[in-house]
Amino acid sequence: MLNKIKSLREEVAALTAANAEEVEQLRIKYLSKKGAVSLLMNDFRNVPAEGKRAVGQAINELKNFATDRINELREALETADGDVDGLDLTRTASDLRLGTRHPLSLVREEIVSIFSRLGFTVAEGPEIEDDWHVFSSLNFAEDHPARDMQDTFFIQRSPDVLLRTHTSSVQSRVMERTQPPIRIVCPGRVYRNEAISARAHCFFHQVEALYVDKDVSFADLKQTLLYFAREMFDSNTKIRLRPSYFPFTEPSAEMDISCNICGGKGCSFCKHTGWVEILGCGMVDPNVLDACGIDSKVYSGFALGMGVERITNLKYQVKDLRMFSENDVRFLDEFTSAR
Ligand code: DAH
């Protein structure tokens, strides 16, 4: 019996196979229920008691040896070059599917990068804010409608805890802890209690810019705005400032740019006026400087704030604001080349 095992072992050691099918045949021949190794078990019954131990051990060893050998043959074939079992292992791997940058991130980064070329650095603040930083420090009157529940999401009342309605809150946070010169851009998400539609959402994104130093003038603001508009859109972009009102700036203005879709000739996007509004701006109100611990007799500043969705719409003509937050891959994939 031991001789039989020995010769089987030699047989197994010499096995070769040219393909997976042959390996499978060998597995069946030696290891299946009716295979050569299993059949040894039948003979095992007839081995006298005193020999059982040695023979049992030898059969077990043979079984392990045959299993290893057949696995080895299979692995050798799988790692070999060339066409194995219809698998072409020399084929180039298929492309990895890369994600795309979100259009709002692309535009936010472009805005920040334009301002950083002018020496502005990024400042950020919390989305969950208090009344002081969002409203009071920014010169909002007690009864200003923006403080109303209809516009603002309150988390808690007296003391008020709320979701910031604009990134201007970062202005006051930075001014409170820094003396001029201050030159910051503040990108971030803001929240307003609006019904969600194609043209409004309960959250969106803004970038605020603030410059405070000695002798900062409206001319500085205007030049910065022109530079921004021409870098962001094209070098022929015109800007126009219309007087406006914001509690935290005096004087205040809104800036239009010549419509970058029709080049100013008039189209449905600019309602045939040739101009589109893109941001609010103005000279920081001295009350705001003083409220934040900056001496308004020594320093002056300008501020501006814009909606990232609005700029993105102008650059990419996204018709429905909801597209930005639905994570539809068909929409996001359109920005692959901008990545
Ligand atoms: N905070 C304003 C808003 O959310 C935007 C704004 C207007 C920011 C004028 C400014 C500014 O800094 O000077 O509508």
pLDDT in tens, 144-192: 887 877 789 999 999 999 999 999 999 999 999 999 999 999 999 999 9
Same domain, 270 and 316: yes
* Burial class of 156 by CB neighbour count within 10 A (0 to 12, 13 to 18, 19+): exposed
Same domain, 80 and 216: no
**What integer pLDDT is reported at residue 14 of this predicted model?**
86
Distance, CA 246 to ligand 1 centroid (Å)? 7
Same domain, 143 and 238: yes
Same domain, 127 and 29: no
Distance, CA 166 to ligand 1 centroid (Å)? 7
Number of domains composing the chain: 2
Same domain, 77 and 171: no
Q: From first to last of the 339 residues of the chain, give the pLDDT tens digit.
A: 888 888 888 888 888 888 888 888 988 988 888 888 888 878 888 888 888 888 888 888 888 988 898 888 888 877 665 556 677 788 888 888 778 899 999 999 999 999 999 999 999 999 999 999 999 999 999 888 878 777 899 999 999 999 999 999 999 999 999 999 999 999 999 999 999 999 899 999 999 999 999 999 999 999 999 999 999 999 999 999 999 999 999 999 999 999 988 888 999 888 999 999 999 999 999 999 999 999 999 999 999 999 999 999 999 988 899 999 999 989 998 887 665
Residue ranges of E strands in 125-268: 128-130, 154-156, 161-163, 182-191, 203-213, 239-246, 249-258
Q: Evaluate if pTM is beyond 0.75.
A: no
**What integer pLDDT is reported at residue 177 of this predicted model?**
97
Same domain, 127 and 156: yes
Residue 96 placed within a domain:
no
- Domain range for residue 313? 103-338
> What is the length of the chain?
339
2: Cβ contacts below 8 Å, ≥ 6 apart? 54, 55, 58
Distance, CA 97 to ligand 1 centroid (Å)? 40
Considering only CA atoms, which residue is closest to atom 3 of ligand 1?
Answer: 166
Considering only CA atoms, which residue is closest to atom 4 of ligand 1?
Answer: 166
Q: Is the CB of 249 under 6 A from ligand 1?
A: yes
Q: Is the CB of 183 under 6 A from ligand 1?
A: no
Instruction: Report how far residue 307's alpha carbon sits from residue 188's, in angstroms, rounded to the nearest whole number.
Output: 10
**What integer pLDDT is reported at residue 146 of this predicted model?**
78
Q: Is the CB of 285 under 6 A from ligand 1?
A: no
